[in-house]
Amino acid sequence: MTCWRMIAVTAVACGVGWPGGAKAQTALDSAVQRASDAWMQHHTKDLVEGSDTVRLRIPGVAASAAVRPGQATRLLDEYLGVAEELSVELLGIRHVADDHAYAELGRRYQVRGTAEVREETVFLGFRRLGGRWALREVRIAP
């Protein structure tokens, strides 16, 4: 782990520079961990639970679209269905407002039926709704 990444991870863990202090950070950390676990296990219903809408920017979806949780679950199931997750690693969390944050995940997966291993970055946007952090966006970058 590079020195800068270690400093960033430590700052995130300690809630340094985060509006709302350590308590808000702890709640966000928990939401990000639940989302990461849900992604790893392909539990898309758990991923979008508590969301009112989710904006998807994933391969196979023609344009960025904000959809209801049920439709987001179906589209994410379709996207993840061809893959076997090898690892999902939290690369960072960025707080952009008191009620808005992004998590960056590094994803390694294997396409089912092949030996091909692929990597991509998954950005998860979160918004605080009713006192809890809920998923609002999923964006995939190669």
pLDDT greater at residue 50 or residue 2: 50
pLDDT greater at residue 14 or residue 23: 23
**Nearest C-alpha neighbor of 32 from the set 12, 52, 56, 18:** 12
Range of the domain at 17: 3-141
Cα–Cα dist 13/29, whole Å? 8
Count: domains in the chain: 1
Cα dihedral 94, 98, 100, 103 in deg (nearest 10)? 30
**Nearest C-alpha neighbor of 131 from the set 37, 28, 53, 17:** 28
27: burial class by Cβ within 10 Å (0-12, 13-18, 19+)? Answer: middle
Query: For residue 123, what are the contacts with CB-CB under 8 A and spacing of at least 6?
Result: 102, 103, 104, 105, 137, 138, 139, 140, 141
pLDDT tens column, 34-92? 999 999 999 999 999 999 999 999 988 766 778 999 999 999 999 999 999 999 999 99
- Specify the pLDDT at position 61: 76
